[in-house]
């Protein structure tokens, strides 16, 4: 991958991005970069966060959507398919431009995202099992009625709008040596990398994907967009099965590298953003920090990571926090089978107490196909301090004669 700077045919240019910045200036909310001392200490380098989760509609998507929709004639109507952030960006942009919008969302789309999209003025149609289904349905309506389909990433005006994030990073973080950008379809990284290639060609732009949805990584490895058979990741904002020819061309020209992170690394980063920065960021928005925490990002200069969105279902957030605590070694679920006798449970808890782990919950079951007549199953939920402390608890129980199976 090169960072060759220059005019590449059919690619978005920095003039397109500066034009987009002027167009959206009165619409978007300022998201000044935030330098985090806590995260810098953890990563061993200065970490600067670009908080697009605080943007209108809760993500960067309003930038590209408004840059595209604001150029449509007054009588136009807008359609798209999305499960969340793009849906809300299109809905608000259309409303601000006085246009009607109809948005297809999967039947299992999170209720808060559906209601938010409706609240921004869109007509929501729940149809299709996946985002891909919803996109196909929206495109079919566009072809049948003449309504304008607004792509989430495969569009020059959308890419130019997202690229305004890059303009702001160049101005707000002049000391940056590397910029981490989450990647789904590639619209954001295409725009950001284009802007920085023109204004700060010394800055490396690195994309970050979930290991369960490596669309850009696969495309770069094969020099063409690849349709993944499946994607599986908690970072649903980047759970796209393929990038486009357009976004791949930008990445090939301007992106230094694309790396992947695991689900555990994503959840740990999300938890740290919640605890240390006091920010509620969706899993996709934590990808960049996850990469920095792993130490796999070369160099030790100042690093910027774009927190792309904060639209997370509160019920999902509870699960994500538990997952993050477990991944960080601070939450442990144990299953033990002990003798069903007076004092048996007390003896287990006494063994736990010697490790100074905090007991959060105890479940006691006497029925089970794998239990003997004189046995009982105990499920312990414990709060631990670190992975080392978690291992210490398990070792202490085994040393006391218990067979302890960790489930978290």
Q: What are phi and psi of 109, to 5 degrees?
A: -60, 140
Burial group, residue 408, by CB count within 10 angstroms (0-12, 13-18, 19+): middle
The DSSP symbol for 177 reads S
What are the angstrom distances between the C-alpha of 385 and each of 305, 333, 359?
Answer: 27, 14, 12
Task: Determine the 3-state secondary structure of 209 from DSSP.
Answer: strand
Q: What are phi and psi of 363, to 5 degrees?
A: -120, 135
Which pLDDT score, from 0 to 100, does residue 2 have?
47
Q: Are 250 and 190 in contact (CB under 8 A)?
A: yes
Which pLDDT score, from 0 to 100, does residue 348 have?
86
Exposure string for 285-312, b = 16+ CB within 10 A, e = fewer: bbbbbbbbbeeebeeeebbbbbbbbbbb
pTM to 2 decimals? 0.84
Which pLDDT score, from 0 to 100, does residue 50 have?
98
* Residues whose CB is less than 8 angstroms from the CB of residue 92 and which lie 6 or more positions away in sequence, other chains included: 56, 57, 62, 65, 66, 120, 121
Q: What are phi and psi of 16, to 5 degrees?
A: -65, -35
Burial group, residue 361, by CB count within 10 angstroms (0-12, 13-18, 19+): exposed
The pair of three-digit structure tokens given for residue 109, joined into one six-digit string: 């789309």
Q: All domains of the chain, ordered by start, with CATH?
A: 14-58+157-325 (3.40.50.1100), 61-155 (3.40.50.1100), 329-406 (3.30.70.260)
The pair of three-digit structure tokens given for residue 377, joined into one six-digit string: 């199953």
Half-sphere exposure in the Cβ direction for 17 (13 Å, CA): 26
Encode the chain (408 residues) as per-residue pLDDT tens digits.
544 444 445 899 999 999 999 999 999 999 999 999 999 999 999 999 999 999 999 999 999 999 999 999 998 999 999 988 999 999 999 999 999 999 999 888 878 889 999 999 999 999 988 787 888 999 999 999 999 999 999 999 999 999 999 999 999 999 999 999 999 999 999 999 999 999 999 999 999 999 999 999 999 999 999 999 988 888 888 888 899 999 999 999 999 999 999 998 998 899 899 888 899 999 999 999 999 999 999 999 999 999 999 998 777 778 777 777 777 777 788 888 888 888 888 888 888 889 888 888 888 776 655 766 778 888 888 888 888 888 888 888 888 888 887 765
The DSSP symbol for 334 reads E
Which pLDDT score, from 0 to 100, does residue 368 have?
58
Q: What are phi and psi of 235, to 5 degrees?
A: -80, 70
Q: State the helix-helix crossing angle for 61-69 and 85-96, rounded to 10 degrees.
A: 40
The DSSP symbol for 241 reads S
């Amino acid at each position: 991958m090169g960072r060759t700077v220059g005019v590449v045919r059919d690619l978005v240019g920095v003039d397109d991005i500066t034009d987009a910045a002027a167009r959206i200036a009165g619409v978007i909310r300022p998201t000044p970069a935030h330098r985090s001392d806590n995260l810098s200490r953890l990563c061993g380098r200065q970490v600067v966060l670009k908080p697009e989760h605080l943007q209108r509609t809760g993500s960067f998507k309003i930038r590209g959507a408004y840059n595209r929709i604001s150029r449509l004639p007054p009588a136009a109507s807008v359609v798209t398919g999305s499960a969340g952030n793009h849906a809300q960006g299109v809905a608000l942009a259309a409303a601000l431009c006085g246009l009607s919008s109809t948005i297809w969302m999967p039947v299992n789309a999170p209720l808060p995202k559906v209601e938010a999209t409706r609240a921004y003025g869109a007509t929501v149609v729940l149809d299709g099992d996946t985002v891909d289904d919803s996109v196909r349905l929206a495109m079919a309506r566009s072809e049948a009625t003449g309504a304008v389909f607004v792509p989430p990433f495969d569009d020059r005006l959308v890419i130019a709008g997202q690229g305004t994030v890059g303009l702001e990073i160049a101005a707000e973080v002049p000391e940056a040596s590397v910029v981490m950008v989450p990647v789904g379809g590639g619209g954001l990284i295409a725009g950001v990398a284009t802007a920085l290639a023109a204004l700060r060609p010394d800055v490396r732009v690195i994309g970050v994907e979930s290991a369960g949805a490596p669309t850009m990584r696969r495309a770069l490895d094969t020099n063409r967009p690849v349709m993944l058979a499946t994607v599986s990741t908690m970072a649903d904002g980047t759970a796209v099965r393929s990038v486009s020819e357009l976004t791949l061309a930008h990445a090939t020209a301007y992106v230094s590298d694309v790396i992947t992170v695991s689900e555990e690394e994503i959840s740990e980063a999300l938890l740290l953003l919640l605890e240390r920065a006091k920010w509620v960021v969706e899993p996709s928005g934590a990808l960049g920090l996850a990469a920095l925490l792993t130490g796999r990002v070369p160099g030790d200069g100042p690093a910027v990571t774009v927190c792309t969105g904060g639209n997370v279902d509160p019920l999902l957030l509870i699960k994500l926090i538990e997952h993050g605590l477990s991944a960080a070694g601070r939450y442990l679920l144990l299953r033990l089978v002990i003798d069903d006798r007076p004092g048996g449970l007390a003896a287990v808890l006494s063994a736990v107490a010697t490790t100074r782990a905090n007991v959060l919950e105890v479940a006691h079951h006497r029925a089970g196909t794998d239990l003997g007549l004189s046995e009982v199953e105990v499920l312990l939920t414990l709060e631990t301090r670190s992975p080392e402390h978690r291992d210490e608890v398990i070792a202490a129980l085994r040393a006391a004669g218990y067979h302890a199976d960790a489930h978290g």
